[in-house]
Structure formats: structure tokens, C-alpha cells
Structure 1
């Protein structure tokens, strides 16, 4: 049992420029991509190859007619092809729905997922500093006025697992994991119709359980089926998560999700467990969990049981333990002998934050303000502590423009941001040196290694790249298996067509 699988993240950045009330966000985003491209002038000619992309293929077994879908679903549109900057670390930077987006390279571990996600921030910062443009980018998801943009996750999952089981499991996890993955937000409702503070930035923007779309009528379970790999796999595309500044929530976001997918892939009969834990109304639960800072409210399962978000997570963790115990030996305490340090780390942190949340559930608002150790692992709690302290000091309300401005500043990549002032209070897992290295070098254990190295070392030979191909002047490298073309893989003429 392991958290290790092919995974990756996508970050759409909020964007603003000094000055104008009437700034053109699409043009600003294009300017950012141009600045990123200029960091590596030798690769500016390289195109992104959309040939293998099919954004209308649905995981439920059919394809939506292109003529019948909204244009913003067609992410392979020819109009977007000039707004790409493939990176020497294996990532892709491009304009997506008027936002600059960084799509990380494929990685195998939660730690690397966090590292390469953070390296996107460094690439963006470096590009803006080099270009001298007065643009600010935000690792956030909302503007507080009704607009929301994404922070997505991708997991390569065995296609033999029925999609309905994936959907049932993930809706429960998505609705309840936000108690330790949420990054916090000022305002309740999509346009902050009510004053207040909530756990998740994204929760209020989801209105359906399952669907193909990503920018309207957002579903908890997105059904886009583009594996960028062989038909043995599906890419489970997650759009419901928050953008995190802290390491622990981000690592747990991808780590616990990967771990649960492993359990589903290896449990011989998961149906009984899934039936026992399925939410009666997952969309309402998603909203309500985010609005409950006490983490004590309960939510009904289809079988009529009432459980809190913490209790749902404890059930999920117990199931993982049960599947692991049937797969591996256990130690004298009954702890499964986890196969690698990455899995041990995720399990230990998952256990710890659930203990933290049990303490939160028993604390008053005044007591929550002094929970500094727990806030070092729970981003929403740390943000709430800072903003609530300011609210009390100023004797103001959650509708205060000051608190809204502080909320926005939290996501800013600028060195003067609120986050930079309080980052030392959080539990750091990834060193700045590792992030800087990842901004310039691809991971060595997936096909991203070949994509990045070819761009860095032989850019004049490269015509175009995609997730699963590299088009060279003398042929095409087909990389359908993301576990190959690693640092151990020799590229020769037999790989080309």
C-alpha cells in the first residue's frame, strides 16, 4: 500500500496590476506568459501539442458533442495555442480562462507534488521580477465578489475501478477533507452575500455532485477523462480543492486522496464500506462543513447515520488501515508496515491533524485563538486567528474592508504579503532550496524528466511537446506510459516514430 502514483497539480493565479480600474485580465495573463517564456529564450519557439487532448470525453462512457458544449470547455481551442510556455522542469505555463496557469510536471509522491507546485510560484515571481512588470499574482481561489478560479489535482487511477465507486468515495472525502485542507476565506456565499469566515475558499461554488464542466454549475466530481496515458488508466481530475500557502494541508490534500484511491484499487469488496459512508446530500454537506468553524455539525449518510466531518475522516482512515492490514503485515501495535516513507509521512500527518481537529471541536472561539501548534498545520485556523484578532482589536465586523483586504493579501506572491509576515508560524515540510532546484529541473522518476531535459539540453531539436509526446525534428517520442522515460531511460531511435 502506498501513496505513490502519478499525480500533478494545476494552479490558476489571480492577477491584478498597479493602476487601472479597467485592467484587461486576459491581456495581463498573456503578458505574464510572455515573461515566463523569456526566462528560457531558447525554448520560446516550442509549441504545445494539443493533438492528444480531448476535453469533451466523459468518464461515464461517452463524449459530449463539441458543438453542444460551452467554448470554455474546449481547452484545446486553436485560439489558445500561442499562450503556452513549456518549462525545463517539465511543467506547462499557459493562459486558462483569462488566468495564468502553472501545470506541474508529473510526479510520484505527495512531497514532490507540493515541491513542484511551489516551484510554479518561483517561476512566476522570477518572470515578473525579470520583466519589471507591475503585476501581482495571487495563490488564491476567489475575489470575494463572485468570481472563482481553480486549484486542481490529477491522479492516475486504475481504470478497472468502477467510476461510480470513485465518485462515491471522493464526494465523501471532498466534503470533509476541507477541515484540514481548507485555506480559509472571508465571506459566506459565492459573492460574500453574508459576512463571516469559512474554512474553504472554493466550497460555495459547487452546485452538483457529478459533471464534465469546470467553470459553471461546478460538480464535486469532475468527469473529464483525459488520461494522457494508456487505456489501463484514467486521470481523476479534481477541481474542488483550495489553493494552499501552507505545506501540511497541501501534502495531505494529495496524500490522503491518493491513499484512499489505493484502498479502493485493492479492496476486494469496497461496496459495503462505500454504502455505509455515502452522503445523503454531498453538495449541502460541502457547503455546511466549510461554514462550521467548530467542526461539530453532523451530516447524514444514505443509511441515516449522523457523523461529523472529523468522524467521516476517522472512518476513511480506519478503512485504509483495514485494507492495508489485509495486504501487509502489522507490527506489535497493529500498525500496518507501510512500504515507504512517503506513505508513513502522510498517515502520520493525517493522524495528527485529526487529533488537532478533535481539540478544535472541543474548544471555544476564545480557546481557538490560542491554539498555535494546531494552527501551524491547519491553514484556515491560522488565517482565522490572525483576522479574528484584528477584528476584535478594531471592534469591527466580518464585512470590514480591512479584513477583506487582509484575506486577499494572504494569497499574494509579493514579498510584502500577509502570508510572508506569518509564514514562520506554519510547519514547513519543503525547503526553499528544494523548491528552487525544482523550478529548474524535472522530477527524475516520471516521463517529465525526458520532456524537461530535452527542452533544457536540445531545445533547437524540439518542435512541440505535450504530456505524452515530444516532437523532434527527426521524429516523435511517444510516452504513453508516464512511469517510463525517466532518468534511468535511454532515448534512442527505437523510441521514435
Structure 2
């Protein structure tokens, strides 16, 4: 049985957004750098930085390549994480709308587009990274080896799908995952240079004697709430089983990264994977065996963190998606799984166009699927019309827009930031530290991400009041 602290697990997601601006007729195009400056102008004007923590506990910043990025606050349950991930879309869309107003004020007729996807029109990739807190006693490389078979086949259940171009001997066609062609190693300390499936850089953002942070780079950004829930929920279940010592089938492979691109191009799940112990197994069989173990694990897991009832919803969707792949009848999941929803859309356009996968209209549909703007993006339009299932609610998402998770360390950070903004007192924050800068610097270090209440932070908040009074 797992220890209670890891039945309740801290998890977070980092989402990078693609950005572009389209000028009106006769207008000049804006570079990503230029539009990013418009996007972050209100942030820089207020905080003198393009890298801040917000009152909901999340980090908002401008990443390399002019990509807006949001790293969610620490969450300890699946739906809580989904609410905060979706709130990130609301935050950056608000910035995009303000950027459009600033462009208009500068007499530039421009529309700002933010895309929650992973590959731009010329093939540059940007990520959606998942972070799972794990026990320090588990060597990350050994954990990674156990997880790699699940990770390279996970795209079958939660890929975002895309129109794949001709590359590396592959013909143009539909690809299940946007990230499959962008990762080059199984386990590595690099991120951009090697792009591993699991990053081993040891940054726990907490007590390094107790915690590790498993940084997963291989996942696609999901528009569908239900696909996101399946992606994270299935991974949470596998991690719980590994930490609990549940005997999982041995699917260790000679060359796991060598199979990932083939899996992405085989919607039947029939890609054969060479096992280190000899023999082969299909990608679908890896997922089915993992699902069987997870189904059994639900009968004994501690009902902490993400409620077991919620994880049963995950397992139900996981089961239906694998049945759909096995039978090639996707009618029971065609409103819940991103790549299935997108493939159906693209196939309808292909029938109308009478063209192969190389038609530019298909690439346009693919991209528009990921436009986060309500009323404009294809997926938000499907969702508004009830053609895509929901996992959460607009009310919960908008509550997460301004409120940190109440059950983790993020609550303390959110309280601190909100009060400092109200008082106009300069402070500095990161994942671990809360600092009042003047009159005399005071810092509180928060090494336990599970703790939402701390008397030291109460004292720091009182010092904030003193600092505000001293400033007049």
C-alpha cells in the first residue's frame, strides 16, 4: 500500500502557447517577438518583469521563442489540476484581447491568435510538460524504465493528433501525437537539446530529502477536458502502482524511443515493440495490460488525493478508448478523445475537398482546432455546441482564474501575492520562497508542497501590513 503522502500526489502542468498575429488588409505582419511584447506589456508595466507568479499560485512568463507559458500551481487532485490548466487559457486569452486593443490604439489592425498545440506551421515544437511529485527513495532512472512502455504507448489514449508532413521516410498523413516526432531520448537531463520522454533534472521545488519531481515532456497539449483527464489520471494511477510495489508486466524494450514514431502512425495499436527479455508485444497490448492492473488497483488504493470515484471515470474512458482502437469503432469516444475528434473533422474536410493529406486547407483546420479563443477556435466551437464532452464547468475554471488551490502550498503563495498587491508592497516569490523586500527583507521557505497552512506565513502577512504602514 502507498504511504498516505503519495496517495495524495502533487501534480502540475506547464503549457506553452503558439502565438501569431494577423494584420488587416494591407497591414504589415508582426513577428512573434513583436506580438509577444504587446501581449506582455500590461505585465511588464505592472511588475517590471515578464516572469511573475499570480494570485492563483501559478507562474506566468514569456518563454524562449516568444511563447507565453503558464505553469499551474501545485494541485493535489485531477479535477483541481484541470481547472487550473483551463484557467491558464482564460488568462492568456485575456492578455491577447488586451494586446488587440493596444494594437488598435497604435493604429494597427491586428488579430492575436494563441494556439494550445505543440508544432507550428514550419515544424518548430513547443511543449506541454507534466510534473509529478514522487518519493526520493525511488531512483528516477529506474522509475523511468518502468514507465517508458506506458509513456510511449500513452499517445493512443491521449494524443492531440495532427496532419503529419513527409519526414524520415514517412508519407504525409494523420499522426496520433504531435510530440512523438519531437522526442529523441527516453530518459535524459536535457530538455530542448535532446527532448527526452522523462527529464531527470533534479529540481523538486521542495525538500530534496523527501521529494523528486518527475518531469514528463512527451505529452501533447489537449484541448479536450476529458482527454486531459485521461492523460493525467492514467499516469497518476501508474505512478501509484509503481510506488505501491504492484507487480506490473515487464515490457522493458531494447529501444523504446525507436518505436514512438511508428506508434503515432498506427491507429490500430498494432505496432510491434521489441522486448528486452525477448519476443514482441503490440502497443495496444501494453495499454491493455496497464489498464487491467489499474482497474484492479482501484479496488485497494487509498481514497486520498484524487477521489477513487473520479479515477473510475478515467478508467471507464480508458477502457472505451482501447475498445475503440481494438474494434476500430470510435463512435463511443468521438466526443471525448482529442485525436479522434480531430480526425473526424479532417476526414469530413477531405471528403469535401477530394484531396490527399497534403492539401493546405487541412493544415489550416488542424491549426484552428487549437485556437483557444471562444467563438473562433474550432474546438471551443464544438464544445459550445455540445459536440465535445466536458469534465468540469466554466464556473470552476473561472474560480481557479483568481484563486489558488486551497489544499496545497499554493494557497499560501496566492494569499501572499494577493495581499501584497492590495497593499502595494514589493515582494518576491518563487515556488518555495515568499519574501517581503522592505524595509528589512524577510523570507519564509516552504519546503512541503502538501501544507496549505503555516504560522510563519501568517507572521509574514502581518509584516506586510507593517511594511505598507511604513510606506505611508
Superposed pair shares fold, TM > 0.5:
yes
The C-alpha deviation readout for 1:164-199, integer Å capped at 9, x for no partner, is 221112211211111111011001466997310011
Q: In the TM superposition, what whole-angstrom CA distance separates every residue of 1:191-235 from its partner, at most 9, and x where no partner exists?
A: 997310011011011121222222233211211111010011011
Give the match's secondary structure for 2:198: strand
- Provide the residue aligned with 2:258 in structure 1: 284
Aligned to 1:168: 145
Residue 458 (structure 1) shift: 2.5
In structure 2, the CA distance between the partners of 1:194 and 1:495, relative to structure 1 (3 Å rule), is farther
Contact 2:204 2:211 in 1 (8 A): yes
TM-score after normalising by structure 1 = 0.81
Instruction: Find 2:447's aligned residue among 467, 480, 483.
Output: 480
2:208 matched to 1:248? no
1:180-191 alignment runs, 5 A limit: 180-188=157-165
Aligned with 2:451: secondary structure? Answer: coil
2:307 match? 342
Who is 2:467 aligned against?
none
Aligned residue for 1:263?
A: 241
How do 1:15-414 and structure 2 match up within 5 A? 15-19=19-23, 23-36=30-43, 41=46, 44=47, 82-98=49-65, 99-131=67-99, 132=101, 133=103, 134-188=111-165, 194-231=171-208, 232-267=210-245, 273=248, 276-320=250-294, 328=300, 338=303, 342-363=307-328, 368=329, 371-414=330-373
Change (3 A) 1:490 1:93: closer
Q: Which moved more, 1:470-479 or 1:173-182?
A: 470-479
How far apart are 1:441 and its partner, in Å?
A: 0.8
* Cα RMSD after superposing both structures: 2.6
Deviation string 1:427-451 (CA, Å, 9 cap, x unpaired) is: 2011011111101111111111111
In structure 2, distance between residues paired with 1:207 and 1:189: 18
Partner-residue secondary structure (3-state), 2:20: strand
1:94-138 deviation per Cα after TM superposition (whole angstroms, max 9, x unaligned): 111121111111110111111101000001111222342432111
Partner of 2:466: none
Q: Secondary structure at the match of 2:184?
A: strand
Does 2:18 match 1:11?
Answer: no
Decide whether the 8 Å contact of 2:9 with 2:76 is kept in 1: yes
**How many angstroms apart in 1 are the aligned matches of 2:31 and 2:138?**
44
Q: Relative to 1, partners in 2 of residues 1:33 and 1:408: Cα closer, same or farther, differing over 3 Å?
A: same
Question: How far did 1:250 drift?
Answer: 0.7
Shift of 1:236: 0.6
What's the counterpart of residue 50 of structure 1? none
**Out of 404, 407, 423, which is 1:442 matched to?**
404
Do the aligned residues in 2 keep the contact of 1:227 with 1:234 (CA within 8 Å)? yes
Give 2:381's match in structure 1, choosing from 403, 421, 435.
421
1:156/1:18 CA distance change after superposition, 3 Å: same
Where does structure 1 differ by over 6 angstroms across 4 or more consecutive aligned residues? 190-193, 487-490
Give the C-alpha shift of residue 339 in structure 1: 5.2
More RCO (CA 8 Å, sep 6+): 1
Q: Normalising to structure 2: TM-score of the pair?
A: 0.85
Q: In structure 1, list runs of 5 or more residues that go unmatched.
A: 46-81, 329-335
SS in 1 for 2:163: strand
1:244–1:448 distance in 2 versus 1, CA, 3 Å: same
- Find the residue that maps to 2:117 and give its secondary structure: coil
